C-alpha cells in the first residue's frame, strides 16, 4: 500500500466549531480514517531492545544466546543483531523475560537476505519448559509462508498461509494475543486470525533462527513485548489519563506513521461517543539529544495528533488543547532502550 507520509502541522483555531487548518494540510497527512485499523501495539512495555547501547563484539545483554552467535552490525544510528550463514546455521535468542501476561503483543523489525536457500525464523512460547505455541516463518527467494501452532494441551496446527514480503525492505512482524484470539500481522496487514485458543501461562520466549544455504542473513533491528492496550474510553473515564505508545512518528520528526491508525481511531471513537469530553494532548520524548529540540519536537507531535483528530475525524478543535513536555516527565529510565521507548509517548488528559 503506497501511503504518502508527509505531515504539515499548522496552528489550529476554533472558529464556530470548525478548524482553521488549510485543506492542503489534511491532504498531505496519512488518511487515518481510511487506513485499515487492525493491529494495536501493547501499552505497557515488558521487554524492548533496539541494540542502540550495544558495543561491537559484546554479547546482547538483554538476551541469553544459544547455538550460533549473532553479530552486531551498524550503519549510522542503525543497529541490528545479525545471524549469517555459509552453509547451515541454527541460533537462538531468549529475551530476559520471566513471564508474559495473558494478553500481550509481540513486535519485531527484521531485515532478511535470502538470495538462495531458505531462512526459517520462529517465535516460540514456553510454559514450564514445554513449548506451548509457535509462530513460524519459512522464507525463500520469491516466496514465504507462515504458520501458527499450539503444542499444549495437544499438538495442533492453528493456521498457515503464503505471504508476500518485499525483502529489499525491513519486515515488520507482529503477533497480538487477546482473550484466546491470536492475530498475526506482516507490515501491518493481518495474515492469520484464530480464536478460541487457550494457552497456559507463558514464562519463556525464544527467537530461533535456522538458515540453510549460502549468503543468507537474518537481522533483528528491534524486539518488543508489551501488555495489550486497555480500552481508551474506559481508562479516560476511570482515571482521567490515557497513555499511548501506539501513536508513532518518524525518528526526530512530527510525521505520523500509518501504523498509528488503530490508536488514533480508538481516541476518535471515544471523543465521538462522549461529546462533552475535552482533552489535553501531551507530547513526550526520551532524553536523547538537545533538551530544547525535544521540547519543540514534543509540542509539534502533540499538535500533529490534534490536527489529525480535527481535520480527519471532525473533532471540534475547541475540545482539544496541546502541550509539549519533551523529556521533562519520564516514566522510565533513559539509560536503556526499553526505558527510552517507554518515555516516547502521547498522553491524553481529561479536562
171-210 confidence digits (pLDDT tens): 999 999 999 999 999 998 899 999 999 999 999 999 999 9
Q: Is the pLDDT score of 88 beyond 80?
A: no
Q: Is the pLDDT score of 37 beyond 70?
A: no
CA distances from 127 to 45, 168, 199, 224 (A): 21, 36, 9, 19
Reported as a pLDDT band with limits 50, 70 and 90, residue 239 is: very high
Q: Please state, for a pLDDT cut of 90, what percent of the chain lies above it.
A: 70
Predicted local distance difference test score (pLDDT) of residue 92: 95
Reported as a pLDDT band with limits 50, 70 and 90, residue 280 is: very high
Q: Please state, for a pLDDT cut of 70, what percent of the chain lies above it.
A: 91
- Tell me what the pLDDT averaged over the chain comes to: 88
Reported as a pLDDT band with limits 50, 70 and 90, residue 131 is: very high
Dist. CA 180–CA 196, nearest whole Å: 5
pLDDT, tens digit, 9 for 90 and up, residues 99-114? 999 999 999 999 999 9
Set out the domains of the chain in order of their start, with CATH numbers. Answer: 14-40+230-350 (3.30.1330.60), 44-227 (2.60.120.200)
pLDDT, tens digit, 9 for 90 and up, residues 293-350? 999 999 999 999 999 999 999 999 999 999 999 999 999 999 999 999 999 999 999 9
Round to the nearest angstrom and report the end-to-end CA distance of the chain: 38
Long-range CB contacts for residues 181-186, cutoff 8 Å, separation at least 24: 182/133, 182/148, 182/158, 183/38, 183/39, 184/135, 184/146, 184/148, 185/38, 185/39, 186/146
What is the average per-residue pLDDT within 27-55?
83
Q: 225 near 42, Cβ under 8 Å?
A: yes
What is the average per-residue pLDDT within 151-158?
91
Question: 127 in helix, strand or coil?
Answer: strand
Q: Is the pLDDT score of 18 beyond 60?
A: no
Q: Is the pLDDT score of 8 beyond 60?
A: no
Q: Name residue, grid cell 485499515.
A: 36
Dist. CA 143–CA 165, nearest whole Å: 8
Predicted local distance difference test score (pLDDT) of residue 23: 45
Amino acid at each position: 500500500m503506497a501511503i504518502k507520509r508527509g505531515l504539515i502541522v499548522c496552528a489550529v483555531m476554533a472558529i464556530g466549531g470548525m478548524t482553521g487548518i488549510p485543506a492542503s494540510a489534511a491532504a498531505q497527512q496519512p488518511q487515518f480514517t481510511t487506513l485499515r485499523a487492525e493491529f494495536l501495539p501493547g501499552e505497557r512495555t515488558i521487554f524492548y531492545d533496539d541494540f542502540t547501547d550495544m558495543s561491537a563484539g559484546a554479547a546482547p545483554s538483554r538476551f541469553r544466546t544459544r547455538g550460533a552467535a549473532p553479530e552486531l552490525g551498524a550503519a549510522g544510528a542503525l543497529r541490528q543483531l545479525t545471524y549469517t550463514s555459509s552453509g547451515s546455521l541454527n541460533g537462538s535468542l531468549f529475551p530476559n523475560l520471566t513471564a508474559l501476561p495473558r494478553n500481550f503483543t509481540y513486535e519485531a523489525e527484521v531485515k532478511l537476505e535470502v538470495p538462495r536457500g531458505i531462512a526459517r525464523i520462529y517465535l516460540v512460547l514456553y510454559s514450564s519448559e514445554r513449548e506451548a505455541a509457535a509462530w513460524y516463518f519459512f522464507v525463500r527467494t520469491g516466496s514465504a509462508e507462515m504458520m501458527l501452532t499450539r503444542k499444549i494441551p495437544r499438538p495442533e496446527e492453528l493456521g498457515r498461509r503464503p505471504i508476500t514480503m518485499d525483502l529489499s525492505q525491513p519486515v515488520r512482524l507482529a503477533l497480538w494475543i487477546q482473550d484466546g484470539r491470536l492475530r498475526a500481522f506482516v507490515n501491518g496487514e493481518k495474515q492469520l486470525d484464530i480464536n478460541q485458543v487457550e494457552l497456559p501461562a507463558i514464562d519463556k520466549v525464544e527467537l530461533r533462527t535456522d538458515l540453510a544455504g549460502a549468503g543468507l542473513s537474518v537481522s533483528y533491528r528491534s524486539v518488543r513485548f508489551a501488555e495489550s492496550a486497555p480500552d481508551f474510553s474506559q481508562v479516560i473515564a476511570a482515571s482521567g489519563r490515557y497513555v499511548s505508545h501506539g501513536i508513532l512518528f518518524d525518528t526526530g520528526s512530527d510525521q505520523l506513521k500509518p501504523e498509528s491508525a488503530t490508536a488514533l481511531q480508538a481516541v476518535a471513537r471515544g471523543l465521538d461517543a462522549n461529546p462533552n469530553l475535552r482533552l489535553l494532548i501531551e507530547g513526550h520524548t526520551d532524553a536523547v539529544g538537545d533538551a530544547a529540540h525535544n521540547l519543540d519536537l514534543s509540542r509539534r507531535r502533540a499538535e500533529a495528533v490534534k490536527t489529525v483528530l480535527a481535520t480527519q475525524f471532525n473533532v471540534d478543535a475547541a475540545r482539544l488543547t496541546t502541550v509539549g513536555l519533551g523529556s521533562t516527565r519520564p516514566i522510565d529510565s533513559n539509560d536503556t532502550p526499553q526505558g527510552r521507548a517507554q518515555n516516547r509517548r502521547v498522553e491524553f488528559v481529561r479536562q
